[in-house]
Copies of this chain bind each other. A is one copy, B any other.
Amino acid sequence: MLPNEHHLRTPGPTPIPETVKHAMNQPMIGHRSSHFSDLFNEVAPRLKPIFGTEQPVHVLTSSGTGALESAVTNTVSHGEKVLVVVAGAFGDRFASICERYPYDVERLEVPFGESVKEEALLQALDTHSNVAAVVFTYCETSTGVLQPVEKLTKIVKEHSNALVLVDGVSCIGGVPTQMDEWGIDVLVTGSQKAMMLPPGLSLIAFSERARSKASEIDSLTFYFDLSAYEKQYENGMTPFTPAVSLIYGLQEVCNLLDQEGLENVFKRHELMKNMTRAGIEALGLPLLTNEKDASPTVTAVLGTEQVNTDELRKHVQKKYGLSLAGGQKQLKGKILRIGHMGYCSPTDVLTTLTLLELGLYDLGYPVQFGQSVKAAQEVYVQHA
């Protein structure tokens, strides 16, 4: 392999397309100039179909965590109850954000690697009346589970008056999402996942109902106060100096998504998921999640008695420049995670499997060269 070869297959950050890098290199402009408002006014509406919303999609200069803080601090008031579904490290993160504020926070714990059961959600809604907001992690990056947020949102709406806040950081742009139609009240994503950008931006949209609630209560922070963003959105601007170069990049990302077509983008992600799962199974390694719960953007792989996933991960990083992620929280040391989202093609999935085969061989594990690649190729020719 080449000395500096690098295959970034973490579930975010993800690789940056060359044309996006090129776009980000455009000359810097003032954020209060008409140049900037022309750029912003061109880009911002193009984010709506990605979210599946007619509402403004606001652009924050922060990581996704900042936007999650914005989601809750604009829509939940002192003393109100928040029900957070915790099915992994990022559900836990969202709960921790809520717990920082004077809210009454209830955690609905779900086994890591599974989606939340309808009955469990119904029971929680029953037990905790007057819930002001229910929080879901759309794709739980730490487990590779895609929660069925359409169905879950419907259940919440049928059984309560709660707002539904959704962390879509590691899947929006890679999976079909209809925020308005499904009834999601706040939807958040980050730039460094399926959106093919470096980290540094987060995107957030509020339903009419969430906006109305936000206008009635005081935002509990200054930097993440929705009203400041709404006021400047009309001027094609952001209230505080935005990460201009990333917004140039975002414009090119919209071009790339348009060129491929959103439907095709989603199909490609679905295909990459199926190829990855087939390949991993052919290696004899267990998948953490079942087929139904699996996210099109990230796949978690369990170790076995023979295969230590941390050892494998560190080896392929060192020898082949293949970057994968490990486990978090209670899954630390027990899984590896393969990101297949954003600027990632079926070819990249085949490359990843090839290098995993070599890595397993190097470490003395039983492996038949080409076996996982074959399985993934078969999925490819059947479905592509």
Interface residues of A (CB under 8 A from B): 6, 8, 10, 12-16, 21, 24-25, 27-33, 61-66, 69, 96-97, 100, 190, 192, 198-200, 218-219, 221-225, 240-246, 317, 323, 325
A242 to B198, CA, bound (A): 9
**4 additional A-B residue pairs with CB within 8 Å, beyond A10-B32, A192-B241:** A8-B30, A16-B28, A61-B62, A65-B222
A22 to B272, CA, bound (A): 32
A65 touches B223 (CB 8 A): yes
Q: How many copies does the complex hold?
A: 2
A222 contacts which of B69, B192, B199 (Cβ < 8 Å)? B69
Residues of B with C-beta under 8 A to A30: 8, 10, 13, 323, 325
A61 contacts which of B13, B96, B199 (Cβ < 8 Å)? B199
A219 to B96, CA, bound (A): 13
Residues of B with C-beta under 8 A to A15: 27-28
Would you give the shortest CB distance from A120 to chain B, in whole angstroms? Answer: 26
In the complex, what residue of chain B is closest to A193 when comparing beta carbons? Answer: B241
Given contacts A30-B325, A190-B241, contact A63 B65 (CB under 8 A): no
A225 to B245, CA, bound (A): 26
Residues of B with C-beta under 8 A to A10: 30, 32-33
Residues of B with C-beta under 8 A to A198: 28, 243-246
Would you give the shortest CB distance from A122 to chain B, in whole angstroms? Answer: 29
In the complex, what residue of chain B is closest to A64 when comparing beta carbons? Answer: B241
A323 touches B29 (CB 8 A): yes
Given contacts A62-B66, A241-B192, contact A31 B199 (CB under 8 A): yes
Residues of B with C-beta under 8 A to A97: 222
